[in-house]
């Protein structure tokens, strides 16, 4: 596939960025590498003149940036998300290397939109945000000083994306992604399944929302590994709906 088209399918998602200057730096980092889809989840201050100043010639990306209230909304319609995190999290996807993970990301981008997800400057990504991602990456650093500036972290990953897209290697072949029989389920379709499962498990008493424990994060991680297809989501939701008919709860969203 044309490398420019592949790069245009990669969303850069910033979760709760605090400093407008960093948003501008991110836009510039993206545009230098040929990426253009910026998503901002609950930015503290945006739009802002400081963001425009730091973006220099990449103000067009800021103007087209999509602002959402949740990471789930920013990932809707995409099929694969990579979390950028300086450390391994409890129940999060196993941390991989940037090069290998970006190769996989581009293999997925052959079929659909994908995302790189970055955290807030002070607290990083929450565990909940990480569980929306199917893979995670740490940029190798000096172990005594491992936290990059947000704009720098985006630059490193966008550079990897550009190198991989223009390497001339077909990404799908490189990472052994099986061609989907049915298209990959989008993040919002998987969210729909998880929500449906939660309602049914609550109705049957298997899940107690007052004492949730780690059931939902564990299911989320399972589906993140499974890389469900649309048909498979439909089958699982059909099974859930059939139990609701039996228990008298009827069809639920």
Residues in contact with ligand SAH by CB under 6 A are 84-86, 118-119, 121-122, 124-125, 138-139, 141, 146-148, 150, 153
Q: Nearer to ligand SAH by C-beta: 110 or 121?
A: 121
Q: How far is the CB of 161 from ligand SAH (least distance, A)?
A: 14
Q: How far is the CB of 29 from ligand SAH (least distance, A)?
A: 12
DSSP-based helix, strand, coil % in the chain, nearest 5: 50, 15, 35
* 106 close to 164: Cβ distance less than 8 angstroms: yes
Q: Nearer to ligand SAH by C-beta: 133 or 193?
A: 133
CA dihedral (156, 158, 164, 167) positive or negative? negative
Q: Nearer to ligand SAH by C-beta: 93 or 119?
A: 119
DSSP bridge pairs for 120: 124
Q: Nearer to ligand SAH by C-beta: 117 or 184?
A: 117
Residue 76: φ, ψ to 5°: -55, 135
Q: How far is the CB of 231 from ligand SAH (least distance, A)?
A: 33
The maximal CA–CA distance of the chain, rounded, in angstroms, is 60
Q: How far is the CB of 152 from ligand SAH (least distance, A)?
A: 8
Q: How far is the CB of 137 from ligand SAH (least distance, A)?
A: 6
Q: How far is the CB of 22 from ligand SAH (least distance, A)?
A: 8
Q: Which long-range contacts (CB under 8 A, 24 or more apart) does 163-166 make?
A: 164/99, 164/102, 164/103, 164/106, 165/3, 165/4, 165/6, 165/7, 165/34, 165/106, 166/3
Residue 162: φ, ψ to 5°: -65, -45
Q: Nearer to ligand SAH by C-beta: 85 or 186?
A: 85
146: tokens are 């491992």
Q: Nearer to ligand SAH by C-beta: 11 or 237?
A: 11
């Amino acid at each position: 596939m044309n490398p420019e088209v592949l790069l245009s399918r990669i969303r850069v998602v910033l979760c709760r960025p605090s400093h407008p200057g960093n948003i501008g730096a991110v836009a510039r980092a993206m545009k230098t590498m040929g990426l253009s889809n910026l998503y901002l989840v609950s930015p503290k201050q945006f739009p802002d003149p400081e963001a425009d100043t730091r973006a220099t010639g990449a103000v067009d990306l800021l103007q087209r940036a999509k602002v959402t209230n949740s990471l789930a909304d920013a990932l809707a319609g995409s099929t694969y998300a990579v979390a950028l995190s300086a450390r391994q999290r409890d129940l999060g996807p196993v941390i991989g290397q940037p090069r290998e993970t970006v190769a996989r990301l581009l293999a997925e981008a052959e079929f659909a939109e994908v995302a790189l997800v970055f955290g807030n400057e002070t607290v990083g990504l929450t565990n909940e945000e990480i569980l929306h991602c199917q893979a995670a990456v740490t940029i190798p650093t000096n172990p005594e000083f491992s936290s990059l500036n947000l704009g720098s972290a985006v630059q490193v990953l966008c550079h990897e994306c550009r190198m991989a897209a223009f390497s001339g290697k077909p990404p799908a072949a490189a990472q052994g992604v099986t061609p989907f029989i049915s298209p990959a389920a989008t993040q919002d379709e998987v969210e729909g399944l998880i929500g449906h499962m939660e309602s049914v498990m609550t109705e049957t008493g298997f899940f107690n929302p007052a004492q949730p424990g780690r059931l939902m994060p564990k299911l989320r991680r399972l589906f993140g590994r499974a890389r469900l297809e649309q048909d498979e989501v439909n089958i699982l939701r059909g099974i859930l709906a059939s139990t609701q008919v039996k228990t008298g709860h009827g069809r639920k969203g």
